[in-house]
C-alpha cells in the first residue's frame, strides 16, 4: 500500500529477540474483517493539488473538509536547504485552514500533513507535497536529508533539481559533501535531474556530514543559472539495520550488529510481491492514508488512518502498522508490496509497529530477502546501496 511522513527521537534499544504478536501489511487487500473506508477520497482537500510543480506564488494554499472538522494541519516550507513551519489558522467552523501569509514562496517545496474527523466522527489523514515556480533562467536543487537532523547510517545525500542539467560536471563540482571523521564520498547521477552522494559503506555512527551547495551563478543548462549558496549539515546516529525475510515472515532488527528483536511480518502476496534489496527509510508518518488508486491498482483498498507508516521507496513501498487483519504477520504474505507489523487502530505505542516506529530514524536501512521479486532499483527512493562501489563511482560526471 502506498501513501504520502517525519522522524521522532529514537528510544532505548528493543528487547532482545522479541516475538511480538502478528499483524498485516497496510498494502493488503481488505478482507471481511477489514474496516470499511471511513471517508470518501476527497474528505480532506488540499490545494494546490498533491504533486503539482511550478505553482505560482499567488495561488492560494487551502486545506478543507466538506464535512466534519480538521483536527490538525502542519505545513512545512523547504527552501534553500532549510525547513520552516508555515503558520496558519482555522476557520471558525474548523473546516478550512489557510496560511497567515497569502503568497507562497518561490522556488520552494511545501509539505502538508492534515488529520480530520469526517461527518461521522471517523478519523482520516492526508499527506501532500507541491513545489512552487522557479523563475526563468534559474535552477535549484531540493536536498535530502534536512538541515541539522540526526539520521540513520544508511542515509544517502540526494539533490533533486527542478530542471534537467546539461553541464553535469559543472554542477557536480559546485556541490561538495564532506564528513568528520573523513571518508571517501562519491557522486552518482540518475538521469539529468538527480545527483546522489554516498560513501563505500554505511556511515559510522557519530559522523557529521556537511553538504556545501555552491550553485549560485553556475550555468547548469544553457542560460539557466543556480541560485543556492548554502551549507547543510546532519549527524549520523546509531546503526540500525533490519532484515525482512519474506519467505519466513520475520524481520530481524540489529543495532550495531547485535540482534535486538525478531518480529513477525507480512510481505507482498503472489502477484504483488515486495521488492528485494536494501531500502532506506525516507520519511515517517504517525498516521496516513493509503489508496490503491494512487499507485496503479484498482479500488482494492482505501484506508484513511494507517498508523506508523515509514516510506521505503518513491514508488510507494512502506513498512507500517496494520490493525485490520491481525492473522497474517508471521504466517502469510497478503500485502500489495508493503511490509506490515501488528498495530491497533489509532496506533499503539507498545505494539510491534509502534515500538519499531519510535525506535527508527529516517536513514535506517530495511533490507528485504527471499521475496519472489526483482531487486529494487537504485533510484527508487534512496536505493543506491544496491549498486556496487565501482558502478556507483562510474556515475559521476566530473572525473
Nearest in space to 335 (alpha carbons), one of 301, 287, 375: 301
Cell of 226: 543556480
Cell of 275: 521488492
CA angle centred on 122, ends 128 and 42, rounded to 5°? 40
Cell of 133: 515556480
Collapsed DSSP state (helix, strand, coil) of residue 199: strand
CA angle centred on 27, ends 39 and 292, rounded to 5°? 50
For β-strands 62-65 and 96-99, DSSP reports them as antiparallel
Which H or E element spans position 77? strand 69-79
Residues 246/335, Cβ–Cβ less than 8 Å: no
Residues 269/334, Cβ–Cβ less than 8 Å: yes
Alpha helices in the chain (DSSP H): 168-173, 352-358, 389-393
The residue behind cell 513477525 is 264
Residues 208/178, Cβ–Cβ less than 8 Å: no
Residue 197 CA to residue 347 CA, distance in Å, equals: 35
SS (H, E, C) 4-64: CCCCCCCCCCCCCCCCCCCCCCCCECCCCCCCCCCCCCCCEEEECCCCCCCECCCCCCEEE
Cell of 388: 556496487
Residue 241 CA to residue 257 CA, distance in Å, equals: 8
Catalytic residue numbers read: 320, 338
Residue 275 CA to residue 283 CA, distance in Å, equals: 18
Amino acid at each position: 500500500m502506498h501513501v504520502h511522513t517525519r522522524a521522532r527521537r529514537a528510544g532505548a534499544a528493543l528487547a532482545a529477540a522479541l516475538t511480538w504478536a502478528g499483524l498485516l501489511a497496510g498494502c493488503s487487500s481488505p478482507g471481511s474483517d477489514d474496516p470499511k473506508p471511513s471517508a470518501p477520497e476527497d474528505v480532506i482537500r488540499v490545494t494546490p493539488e498533491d504533486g503539482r510543480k511550478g505553482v505560482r506564488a499567488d495561488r492560494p494554499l487551502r486545506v478543507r473538509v466538506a464535512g466534519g472538522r480538521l483536527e490538525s494541519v502542519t505545513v512545512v516550507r523547504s527552501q534553500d536547504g532549510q525547513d520552516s513551519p508555515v503558520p496558519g489558522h482555522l476557520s471558525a467552523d474548523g473546516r478550512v485552514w489557510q496560511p497567515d501569509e497569502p503568497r507562497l514562496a518561490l522556488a520552494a517545496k511545501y509539505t502538508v500533513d492534515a488529520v480530520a474527523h469526517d461527518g461521522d466522527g471517523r478519523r482520516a489523514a492526508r499527506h501532500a507535497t507541491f513545489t512552487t515556480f522557479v523563475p526563468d533562467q534559474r535552477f535549484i536543487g531540493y536536498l535530502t536529508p534536512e538541515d541539522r537532523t540526526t539520521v540513520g547510517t544508511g542515509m544517502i545525500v540526494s539533490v533533486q533539481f527542478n530542471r534537467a542539467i546539461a553541464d553535469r560536471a559543472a554542477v557536480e563540482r559546485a556541490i561538495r559533501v564532506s564528513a568528520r571523521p573523513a571518508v571517501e564520498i562519491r557522486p552518482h547521477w540518475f538521469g539529468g535531474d538527480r545527483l546522489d552522494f554516498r560513501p563505500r559503506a554505511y556511515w559510522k555512527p557519530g559522523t557529521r556530514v556537511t553538504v556545501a551547495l555552491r550553485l549560485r551563478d553556475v550555468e547548469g543548462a544553457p542560460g539557466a543559472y543556480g541560485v543556492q549558496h548554502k551549507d547543510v549539515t546532519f549527524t549520523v546516529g546509531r546503526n540500525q539495520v533490519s532484515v525482512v525475510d519474506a519467505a519466513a515472515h520475520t524481520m530481524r532488527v540489529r543495532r550495531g550488529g547485535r540482534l535486538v528483536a525478531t518480529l513477525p511480518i507480512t510481505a507482498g502476496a503472489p502477484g504483488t510481491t515486495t521488492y528485494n534489496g536494501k531500502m532506506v527509510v525516507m520519511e515517517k508518518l504517525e498516521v496516513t492514508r493509503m489508496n490503491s488508486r494512487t499507485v496503479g491498482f484498482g479500488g482494492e483498498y482505501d484506508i484513511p488512518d494507517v498508523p506508523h507508516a515509514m516510506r521505503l521507496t518513491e514508488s510507494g513501498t512502506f513498512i507500517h502498522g496494520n490493525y485490520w487483519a491481525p492473522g497474517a504477520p508471521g504466517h502469510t504474505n497478503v500485502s500489495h508490496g508493503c511490509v506490515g507489523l501488528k498495530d491497533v487502530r489509532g496506533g499503539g505505542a507498545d505494539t510491534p509497529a509502534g515500538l519499531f516506529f519510535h525506535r527508527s530514524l529516517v536513514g535506517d536501512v530495511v533490507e528485504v530477502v527471499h521475496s519472489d521479486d526483482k531487486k529494487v532499483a537504485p533510484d527508487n527512493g534512496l536505493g543506491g546501496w544496491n549498486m556496487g562501489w565501482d558502478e556507483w563511482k562510474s556515475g559521476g560526471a566530473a572525473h
